[in-house]
Amino acid sequence: MTVYDKRASGFLPGEGCGFVVLKRLEDAQRDGNYIYATINGWGISSDGKGGITAPSKIGQSKALLRAYQKAGYSPHTLNFIEGHGTGTAVGDRTELEGIALAMSQHGEILPRSVGMTSFKSIVGHTKAASGIGAFIKSVIAVNQRILPPTAGCKEPNPIFDTSAQCLYPVLTGEIRNPNEILKAGIFGAGFGGINCHVAISSGDAPANHLKSSVREASLLVSNQDTEIFIMSAFFVEDLLERILILIELAQGMSIGEMVDLAAKLAQENQDSLPIRAAIVAHNPTQLLDSLVRIKQILNNHSLTKGEVIISPEKDIYIAKEMKGDRIGFLFPGQGSQKLNMARILVQRYNWAKELVNQADEWLKAIGIAPISQFIYYSLERAINQEEIKEWSQLLARTEFAQPALCLTSLIWIRYLENLGIKPVVVGGHSLGELIAFYNAGAYDEKTLICFAAMRGQAMSASSENAGSMASLACDQVTAKSILSQVQGYAIVANINSPNQTIISGDRSAIDAAITIAKQQNIQTNLLPVSNAFHSEKVKNAAEYLQNNATIPERLTNLAVPVFSSINGLEIKTGINLQEHFANQVISQVDFISLIENMTAKCDLMVEVGSGRVLSGLVSNIPNSCQCFPLESKPGNDSDLNSFLAYYFVHGGNIKWSELYKNRLVRSFIPAAEKIFIENPCERNFNVSIDYENPEQILDKKVGFQTMPSQLAINNEELETLLSSYLTERGAFLAELIKADLESLPFF
Taking residue 420's Cβ as centre, other Cβ atoms within 10 Å add up to: 12
| Amino acid in position 700 | K
Give the tens place of pLDDT for each residue, 632-655. 999 999 999 999 999 999 999 999
Orientation angle between helical segments 539-548 and 577-586, nearest 10 degrees: 170
Burial 704-736 (b: 16+ CB within 10 A, else e): eeeeeeeeeeeeeeeeebeebeeeeeeeeeeee
Residue 704 has what pLDDT?
42
Q: Which residues pair with 584 in a beta bridge?
A: none
Residue 281 has what pLDDT?
98
Q: Which residues pair with 43 in a beta bridge?
A: 197
| Amino acid in position 240 | L
Listed residue (328, 354, 292) closest to 595, CA to CA? 328
Q: What is the 3-state secondary structure (H, E, C) of 682-703?
A: HCCCECCCCCCCHHHHHHCCCE
| Coil, helix or strand at residue 44 | strand
| Coil, helix or strand at residue 707 | coil
> Domains of the chain by range and CATH?
25-211 (3.40.47.10), 227-323+662-671 (3.30.70), 328-455+533-640 (3.40.366.10), 467-529 (3.30.70.250), 694-743 (no CATH)
Q: What is the DSSP string of 248-298?
A: HHHTT--GGGHHHHHHHHHHH--TT-SEEEEEEESSHHHHHHHHHHHHHHH
Residue 709 has what pLDDT?
45
| Coil, helix or strand at residue 468 | strand
CA pseudo-torsion sign 94, 100, 106, 108: negative
Q: Which residues pair with 469 in a beta bridge?
A: 504
Distance in angstroms (rounded) separating the CA atoms of residues 539 and 205:
59
Distance in angstroms (rounded) separating the CA atoms of residues 279 and 263:
13
Q: Which residues pair with 607 in a beta bridge?
A: 330, 629
Q: What is the 3-state secondary structure (H, E, C) of 183-214?
A: EEEEEEECHHHEEEEEEEEECCCCCHHHCCCC
Cα–Cα distances (Å) from 740 to 601, 727, 729, in that order, read 90, 21, 17
Residue 685 has what pLDDT?
63
Using an 8 Å Cβ cutoff, are 188 and 130 in contact?
Answer: yes
Q: Which residues pair with 281 in a beta bridge?
A: 227
User: Where do the H-state alpha helices sit in 21-172?
Assistant: 25-30, 57-71, 89-104, 120-123, 130-144
Burial 214-243 (b: 16+ CB within 10 A, else e): bebbbbbbbbbebbbbbbbbeebeebeebb
**Exposed / middle / buried, residue 570 (Cβ in 10 Å: 0-12, 13-18, 19+):** middle
**Ranges of residues in the chain whose predicted pLDDT is under 50:** 697, 700-710, 747
**Exposed / middle / buried, residue 647 (Cβ in 10 Å: 0-12, 13-18, 19+):** buried
Distance in angstroms (rounded) separating the CA atoms of residues 681 and 51:
43
Reported pTM: 0.88
Distance in angstroms (rounded) separating the CA atoms of residues 683 and 318:
47
